């Protein structure tokens, strides 16, 4: 009996150790959600509906351009760093590419805004230019920060991810206290914070690894070859996500877009749950011993899925009830017209969070072509919906939910009922 209890205790400790980074991810997600909720409250309550829509829209072009220069490196960098393969040459190459990426995307953004900005986005160019620094912040997050996750310094990874929004939240409160909170001032503050975030993380990265010899190494081209399917996946996935606000602004106007961005801001932490846990899946699958079989990796993944499904469901229910019975009724009365639409966004994002967990499992195994094919199919079908459904936004997202549900069913059947 004592031996049985000892073995049970050891199994419990092993599970806690295996899930340690997942617990950290969940804690970081909660902190991020609280900060984002406070920022959402401030921007939504003290800005008009149209100004809130503009505040979200001005980041669409920079985020779209950064997606096209992402190269799908983040998951592969986690894989390589967790396996400790030629890190010095790899990190030097990525650091150089990060700097080149910044220069290219900023120049393209400035060109598009200067010549086509107001016609394309239907907002003043000054706000579009203030959105450009998001390129700097996104680049360090996707190119540099994943390394820290790969070497199991998860807290450092989340520190760099969360800190910009935390500082923005502090400055937003200060602007309210001194009665200077408006669209222009908060846009200027956000631009400054994202720029400083870029400089600090870039400096920390360069100093931490003593990067001096700026050139591309052979391992970097090997990484790009492995990441090519992830690059295509990101274009179809995130490219579609950041293209939606531009298209919806044309089809439904800035007010409807503001409603949509408000709903997405509340629901997107469900996607963060999938992404953060997905990164831990990639890391864990690649620190298994060489003699670990695919069945062992699948067993670990199943335990993560069984853990995450109730987390996603409970998170969705909490956001649903808190929003329905408090925020939308007592705080955000001007957003009551999209109450039903918000619930569709919640369902859609919950399904997508689970899909992302499965996608990162295949990314961790190196089967990036499969995940790309899934995202290509999803993006093609959703693009067709976006083109032909121009009457009701609710109909559009009902179709999105149906597409994601079918794809999730297919991925689950392949993972659990067939050999990978």
Residues 6+ positions from 371 with CB-CB distance below 8 Å: 229, 230, 233, 359, 362, 363
User: Taking residues 215-238, what's their average pLDDT?
Assistant: 74
Longest dimension (CA), the chain: 77
Neighbours of 266 (CB within 10 A): 26
Burial class (CB in 10 A: 0-12, 13-18, 19+), 351: buried
pLDDT at 4: 38
Q: Calculate ∠ Cα 377-381-385, nearest 5°.
A: 165
Q: What is the DSSP letter of 327?
A: I
Distance CA 351, CA 337 (A): 24
Sign of CA dihedral 227, 228, 232, 238: positive
Whether 82 and 282 have beta carbons less than 8 Å apart is answered as yes
pLDDT at 175: 93
Distance CA 49, CA 393 (A): 17
For the segment 273-314, what is each residue's pLDDT rounded down to a tens digit? 777 787 788 888 877 655 567 788 888 888 888 888 888 888
Q: Is the pLDDT of residue 420 over 90?
A: no
Sign of CA dihedral 173, 177, 181, 187: negative
Residues 6+ positions from 156 with CB-CB distance below 8 Å: 148
Distance CA 392, CA 406 (A): 22
Q: Is the pLDDT of residue 208 over 60?
A: yes
| Start-to-end Cα distance in the chain | 39
| Nearest alpha-carbon partner for 287 in 85, 82, 87 | 82
| Nearest alpha-carbon partner for 94 in 82, 105, 102 | 102
Whether 35 and 202 have beta carbons less than 8 Å apart is answered as no
Distance CA 138, CA 213 (A): 24
User: Taking residues 9-22, what's their average pLDDT?
Assistant: 54
Percentage of the chain lying above the pLDDT 70 cut: 84
Domain boundaries, the chain: 19-417
> pLDDT band at 189, cuts 50/70/90?
very high
Mean per-residue pLDDT of the chain = 78
Distance CA 404, CA 392 (A): 19
**Tokens 């509906």 correspond to what residue?**
49
The H or E element containing residue 292 is none
The H or E element containing residue 377 is helix 368-388
User: Taking residues 155-175, what's their average pLDDT?
Assistant: 89
Please state the φ and ψ torsions of residue 366, each to the nearest 5 degrees.
90, 5
pLDDT at 409: 93
> pLDDT band at 170, cuts 50/70/90?
very high
Q: Kindly report the pTM of this predicted structure.
A: 0.74
Neighbours of 342 (CB within 10 A): 23
Whether 345 and 263 have beta carbons less than 8 Å apart is answered as yes
Distance CA 126, CA 386 (A): 29
The pair of structure tokens assigned to 226 is 């492995």
Q: What is the DSSP letter of 329?
A: I
The H or E element containing residue 1 is none
For the segment 247-281, what is each residue's pLDDT rounded down to a tens digit? 777 666 777 777 777 777 777 777 777 777 877 88
């Amino acid at each position: 009996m004592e031996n049985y209890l000892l073995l049970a205790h050891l199994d419990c400790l092993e599970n806690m150790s295996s899930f340690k980074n997942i617990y950290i991810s969940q804690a970081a997600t909660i902190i991020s959600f609280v900060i984002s909720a406070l920022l959402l409250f401030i921007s939504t309550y003290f800005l008009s509906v149209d100004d809130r829509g503009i505040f979200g829209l001005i980041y669409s072009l920079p985020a779209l351009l950064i997606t096209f220069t992402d190269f799908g490196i983040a998951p592969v960098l986690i894989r390589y760093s967790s396996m400790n393969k030629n890190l010095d040459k790899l990190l030097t190459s990525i650091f150089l590419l990060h700097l080149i990426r910044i220069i290219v995307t900023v120049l393209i953004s400035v060109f598009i805004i200067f010549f086509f900005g107001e016609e394309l986005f239907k907002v003043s160019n000054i706000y579009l230019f203030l959105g450009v620094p998001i390129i700097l912040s996104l680049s360090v997050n996707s190119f540099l920060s994943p390394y820290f996750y790969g070497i199991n310094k998860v807290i450092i990874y989340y520190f760099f991810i969360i800190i910009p929004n935390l500082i923005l939240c502090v400055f937003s409160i200060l602007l309210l206290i001194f009665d200077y909170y408006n669209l222009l001032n908060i846009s200027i503050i956000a631009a400054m914070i994202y720029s400083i975030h870029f400089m600090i993380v870039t400096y920390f990265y360069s100093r931490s690894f003593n990067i001096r010899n700026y050139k591309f190494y052979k391992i970097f081209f090997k990484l790009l070859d492995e990441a090519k399917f992830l690059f295509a996946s990101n274009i179809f996935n995130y490219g579609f996500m950041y293209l939606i606000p531009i298209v919806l602004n044309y089809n439904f106007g800035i007010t409807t877009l503001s409603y949509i961005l408000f709903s997405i801001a509340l629901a997107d932490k469900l996607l963060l749950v999938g992404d953060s846990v997905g990164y831990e899946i990639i890391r864990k699958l690649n620190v298994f011993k060489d003699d670990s079989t695919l069945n062992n990796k699948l067993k670990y993944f199943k335990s993560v899925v069984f853990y995450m499904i109730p987390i996603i469901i409970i998170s969705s229910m909490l956001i649903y009830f808190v929003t329905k019975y408090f925020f939308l009724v007592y705080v955000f009365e001007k957003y009551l017209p999209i109450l039903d639409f918000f619930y569709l966004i919640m369902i859609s994002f919950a399904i997508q969070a689970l899909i992302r967990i499965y996608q990162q499992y295949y990314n961790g195994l190196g089967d990036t072509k499969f995940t790309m094919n899934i995202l290509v199919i999803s993006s093609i079908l959703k693009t067709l919906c976006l083109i032909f459904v121009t009457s009701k936004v609710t109909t559009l997202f009902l179709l999105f939910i149906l597409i994601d549900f079918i794809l999730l069913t297919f991925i689950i059947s392949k993972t659990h009922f067939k050999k990978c």
